[in-house]
Every structure is written in structure tokens, then in C-alpha cells.
Chain A
Amino acid sequence: MKKKIGVYICHCGGNISDYVDVEKVKKSIEDEGGVYLAKTTMFACSDSNQKDMVDDIKGNELNGIVVASCSPKLHLTTFRNVSERADLNKYNYVHANIREQDSWAHSDDKNGATEKAILLVKAAIAKARLAEPLIPNKIQAQKAVAVIGGGIAGMKAAIALSDKDCPVYLIEKAPFVGGRVAQWGNMFTSNQTGEELITKLYHELIKRKNITLFTGAEVTHNAGSIGDFRLKVSVQPRYFTGTCEEKQLQQAIDACPVEVLDEFNFNLTKRKAIYRNAASEYPQTATIDMENCTRCGKCEAICDKIDLSQKEEILDLHVGSVLMATGFDPYTPAEGEYGYNEVDNVLTLPQFVRMLELSDKKLIRNGKEIKNIAYIYCVGSRQEEDGNTYCSRYCCTSAIHTSVEVKKKFPGVYNYHFNRGIRTYGKQELLYAESLQLGDIYLQGDEESLPEVSGESGKTMVKVKDILSAGRLIEVEADLVVLVTGMVPRADNSVGSMFKLPKGRDKFFNEIHMKLRPVETFIDGVTIAGACQGPKNIMESVNSALAAATKSYSYVSKGELETEPIVAEVDAELCSWCDACTAACPFDAISMTNESSKAIALINNSVCKGCGMCLPVCPTDALNLIAYSNNEIESMIDALAAG
């Protein structure tokens, strides 16, 4: 059939047309073979242009379209939908990226950019000339979602999915759910404690029959893809067959010879290898930390509900979507960074928050009552080029909130805030106002003059050139120095690599597009929520968790999904079954078949992912990828070379 192609070249309101002469591009491609009409448009993606395209396609019976505009990552679906609305198979539409890869990249060379645009459009026309209608594959989507990480984000996502009648597996690595929030006392911007919040949510969780909660569990293996993820989950035992009587449990804990630093309190205190949950940790039961347990059997001898012989379980889960909510780690300062680990009254903010929780009548460090507290902001955030250049967002508010809490609980305390410009955005500003009213002192440094901490002769001094008082050097003797540490990605983020999740410059998991697709990732079917995507406070984490739940739900709710029909094809004439391709295929999609008594390769279309790894290994060039055939690629090369 003769091709009748419509070409649309976008100004992008100047983003393209300021650098690319779009009229010239139009003129240069009008006479290309197959081109029936060519137009320029202010915004190709606008409603009115979409309508025009539909009318053009229908009115002129076009059987191919080329859109030259921004990156196809933004609007591929938009224009595919346009074709479908005009009853044109969507694979007859070809995109040319003349913004990100042309007008913006070559904004320094307008002629060069225009010449390049002409060739890019010609190459797209060449491809459109050869494009064939394709029918998308339909796959079954398993109506269940795996939520990885049981912090506030994961718990809320699980509840939201459950309420949409979607079965959920909530997989938490730690023996308890709650994540970081379980570690905090009174929280901003509500007067709830972490314990109250997690308690409430845990009861919501277990009330729901279609949520299966695994604690002490990790995904160890992932196969499959959107609609059909096959996960292996290893679940560590709790080493309890029931609940020990309280007295016995205490005796067992006392008997345990292993003492380790307690991570829940950020190493401020110690605990045994067998330990009780904190009040805010659920399920409310003791557990044994096998990494440190020596299996001496002392606890087992005291309570018969303890059973050290329990083994890990490996489960197979089948889900249609994965929602990642693995959270963050607080930044750990380097040795000696603002005196950390060198001066002994230097703590991090998370440690200080725990210390407050553990302190009752007096705030005491090393036997001395604390009067002056110095907070040093932006530790581990807003660093130079190669470090963590980002702002951690939660910490100004958190530090101020904590300092206000301290003052309420211990009115004699003086707070000194060594900040780099306070960022209590939105309503959080009121905390800052409150703190100023309470008489807290704010001293501001900048990247050139950061505060310094020194600890000599039993005195800890913090000094800074305060830009708020014309750069005067101000020195404070502090009984406690609190390093306001930022958020960093989890030290062990291997589960992300298992799903091949891309990371951003800040090393957090990256969304596809902050505004268009903020909870989706480049890996179809995997969404991200909470602080694993970047620093967030609780409200922001929950908002993103619910948004991600809605997205994950949309993948599985209909029970069926369309996938790209881009798979490998075998040319039966050329194939002589040498078997080279089976080794190249990472998905075992190729097997042997007999066709008219000749052995040839057979592609299993529902397994083939369309990577094309088999193509280059074929000695007879019998393999092609649909939509990327020799003909298509080489004609694009011809078009690009012609300039």
C-alpha cells in the first residue's frame, strides 16, 4: 500500500523554534517520498493540534504520521493515542526528538540545529514509510501487589491497596514494621508521637484480611515483569513458638551473654541478642537477632517457647506490581566531622531525638546536666560538588521542632542554632517563629565559613563567622553538640538493583518525570514511594505512598495489560539452526522447531522481551526485531547520512 504520511513539526512555543527554523524544516521535508502533508504547530501536544491530527488522518486517510517535537519519553503515549483515536494503528506513528536532542543541545548553533532537525525528521519519515501495523500483546496481570518496606510509606500504601480490594504482600526486612517513624517521639506538624501513629496504622493493617505481612523478610530473587513478577522471599524466623511469660522473658534476656549496640537508639544504648520490641514496634513480641546470637542456648533453657532450631522459610510470591518503599538512612558523619566520634558530647539529631525519649527529669550527658545545646545544620547535606549536594528538606524543621520540645521539657536549656539559612517551608515556618519567641539564638554561616567544633580541656566550643552580625566570629561553649544530619539512601539498597531501578544524581531511586510520572520508574510495573525516592517528611511520604498505590493498582486492577509487540522474528529461509541464539537470549525465549522438515529457531512471543540480544549473534542474519528490522534501521541511516 502506498504510504500517505502526515508530518507535524512543533515549535514548542519557542523551545524548539527559537533555535530551529521549523518552517525551513517543513519545506525541506515536504517532498520526501510518502509525505502527504506537513505542518508546523505551536504545541503539537495541545488539544487543538491533536484534534487537527485526528481530522487530518481521517480526512486524508493517512497511514503514517511523524511528530517532531520533544523527547518521546514525554509524549509517546499522547501521540499513540491520537493515532488510535483516528483509527490508525499506533505503530504507524514515528517520533523525532528535535528538542532535547536538537534545539536544546545545540542552542549555540542555530544552523547546525536546523540541519540536524531536517535529517532527524527525514530519518523518521524513512522509518514511517516502512512501519507496519502491530497488535499489542495482551498479558494477564496478577491482581496482587508486593509492597517492599514497612515504614510509614509502605504501611499506608498497603492499607490503600487493600481498601481497593487488591491483595497485598507487605515485606519488611526488620523484625518489626514502622520504619523510622517508630523511633520518634512527638512529631511535627501534628502533636502525635511516632508510637501513636504506628500503633494506629498497625491495627489498621492487621484488621485487613487481604494484607499478608511478612516481617524479617527480604526479596531475594525477582523474575518476570509487569503483570507477572515472580518473587522469592526469604522470611527469617522469630525463634519463638509462642509468648514467653514476662518474668521468664526477662530472665532469658538477663541470661543472654551477647551484648550489642542498640540500633533502635542509634547506638546510644546496648541490648542483648534476644530483645524485646520497643513500645512503638509491631508485632509486639520479642525476637532474637541471629546475626549476633551465638546459639549458646541459655535463653532456650529458660523459656520453652524459645526455639533456636527454627529455619528460614522461602516463599514464592506472584504479583502484578511492586511498590518500593525502603526509606532512608540518616547520614553518618565521617570520623571527626564536627567532632563526631572525637569529641564525646557530639551527637547526631536522630541520636538526640532518642536521647530525649530516654531522658526523664533531667537532660544529662556524661554525668553533667546539659544547659547549652549547639545545633549544627546541614551535616551531610548541601555539600560540595562530589558529595551530597542536595538539601535534606526535613532537617531544619526537625531540628527546630526538637529544640522547642527540649525547651518545653527542660525549660533551663539554651539552644544555639548554627544554620545555613533556615528552611522551614510552608506552615512549618510557625515552628521557627515559636523558637525565636522562646529566645533561641540563630547564628548563620555559609559554604565559605562553616562552623567549627573543638573539644579541648573538657570544654566543647563551637564557633562560626556569623553572617547575621556582619561576619563577627561568635563562639559558644556547648554541653552538647547536635549534628543535624540529612537523609541518605539506604546503605543496603541492593533490592533496588535487583529490580534494576535507576537512581538519580542524589543516588535515591529515580522517578520517570517529577511532574508527569512522579511515582513510576523506568521499570514497568515498579513504583516508588516515601523517602527512598528522596528526602521527605511524613506527610509527603504518605502522599507519595498513596499516589504510588493508585498507580500500582491501575496496573493490576483490570486483570489484563497490554505490552509492546516488539519481539524477535525468525526468517525461516535463512535460519539453519546453529543454536547460537538460544545462548544469547537471557529469557529462554528461543527453542527449536521443525518447519517443512527443516530445523529452525522458534521465538516464544510471550516470553521474548524484545531486547534483541539474539540478533547480532546469528551467523546467517536470520533474526530481526520487529520495528527495528535491517530495512528500517538502514533506511534511517541512509536518511541521516544524506545531509
Chain B
Amino acid sequence: MTEKIRKSAKILVFSTEKISDPAIDMAGLLKLHYPPTVYTITVPCSSGIKSRWILHAYEKGFDGVFIAADGTDCVFGESCTEKTGQLVGRTHVLMKEKSLDPARLKMAAICSVCSESFVKQIKGFNEYLLKTTNP
């Protein structure tokens, strides 16, 4: 068997039901391609993601975790942006403790029609991860 060439990194995306997941859907609708090793788990709001889930993903072999945050559009209120930022901050600390590169966790606000931005971000993230992580 020939050695597999790694074309894309394994990325877990946390999307949100009302805001960022529709954008990811629309990326598909518009046939904007991104690597198929990007998997989404949808939650109600990005500010409710636990650090332990993120760490669990690295432990199980994910190269990166991408939080497609609600941003200011969040239906649960403006504090979402700040709180999502805080949880990312806390997780970065925990990642450093485990000597994980904090850049393997990325967050960006993805509005409900930000399909292009989502795909751009994911592609950039994928390239970064391919360069920095070993298969």
C-alpha cells in the first residue's frame, strides 16, 4: 500500500443552530468546496461550548477545532460574543498546560449568510494545521 498523502486536516466545527449552521448549509448550497474532513456538531449557542469537549477532540485525534461563533447576531443576547471569547481564552490556557498549540483552536464569528467567509476561514485553518500538525 502506498503511503497516504494527507490532503486535509481533521477539523471539528462547532456551529450554532440559528446562525452559523445556516451559513455552513449555504456554503454547500452554493457548492463552495472545503475539505471533507471537516465535521460539524451543532449546538444552540457558541457560548455554551465546554473546554472539555474541545480537549476531548484533540485527545481523539482531531487536528483542529473551529468555533463558528454567533457573533453579534446571537439570538440569546449580545453577551454571547464576549462569553465565547472567554471560553476560548480559558481553553487556550488549558491547551498550553497540555502543550497543545493554542492556534489549533480557532474562533470566528460566522453570520447566517457568511458562507464565503466560513469557507475561507476553514481553508486557511486547514492549511495552517497541515503545516503544523503531524498525521
Contacts and interface: CB of A to CB of B under 8 A. Distances in A.
A and B touch in the complex (CB under 8 A): yes
A120 B40 CA distance: 8
Contacts of A634: 52-53, 56
Q: Which of A109, A112, A616 has the most chain B CB atoms inside 10 A of its CB?
A: A616
The 6 A-B pairs with the shortest beta carbon distances in the complex, nearest first, are A612-B48, A112-B36, A641-B60, A100-B28, A104-B28, A100-B25
Interface string B46-60: 011111110011001
B28 A99 contact: yes
Contacts of B24: 100-101, 105
Interface stretch (A252-260, A387-395, A499-507): A499-507
Interface in A460-511: 500, 502-505, 510
Contacts of A123: 39, 41
A609 B44 CA distance: 10
Interface of A: 71, 73, 97, 99-109, 112-113, 115-116, 119-120, 123, 500, 502-505, 510, 522-523, 566, 584, 586-587, 609-617, 621, 625, 628, 630, 633-634, 636-638, 640-641
Given A113-B36, A641-B62, A630 B73 contact: no
B79 to A, nearest CB: 6
B112 A522 contact: yes
Contacts of B77: 586
A489 B13 CA distance: 33
B36 A116 contact: yes
Nearest to A615: B48
A112 B28 contact: no
Contact of B80 (A503, A613, A637, A638): A613
A408 to B, nearest CB: 44
Interface of B: 8, 10, 12, 18-19, 21-22, 24-29, 31-37, 39-41, 43-45, 47-53, 56-57, 60-62, 73-77, 79-80, 83, 87, 90, 111-113
A641 B61 contact: yes
Nearest to A634: B56
Contacts of A621: 50, 52
Nearest to B75: A500
6 contacts: A500-B75, A611-B45, A616-B87, A630-B52, A634-B52, A640-B41
Contacts of A510: 112-113
B94 to A, nearest CB: 11
B39 A640 contact: yes
Contacts of B79: 586, 613
Given A502-B112, A522-B75, A112 B51 contact: no
Contacts of B87: 616
A311 B112 CA distance: 41
Nearest to B39: A640
Given A102-B36, A609-B76, A634-B53, A616 B90 contact: yes
Given A510-B112, A641-B62, A616 B48 contact: yes
B35 A112 contact: yes
A403 to B, nearest CB: 37
Contact of B33 (A108, A612, A614, A628): A108
Contact of A566 (B21, B44, B90): B44
Contacts of B61: 641
B36 A611 contact: no
Given A105-B31, A615-B49, 8 more contacts: A97-B40, A115-B36, A502-B113, A612-B43, A613-B47, A616-B50, A636-B41, A641-B62
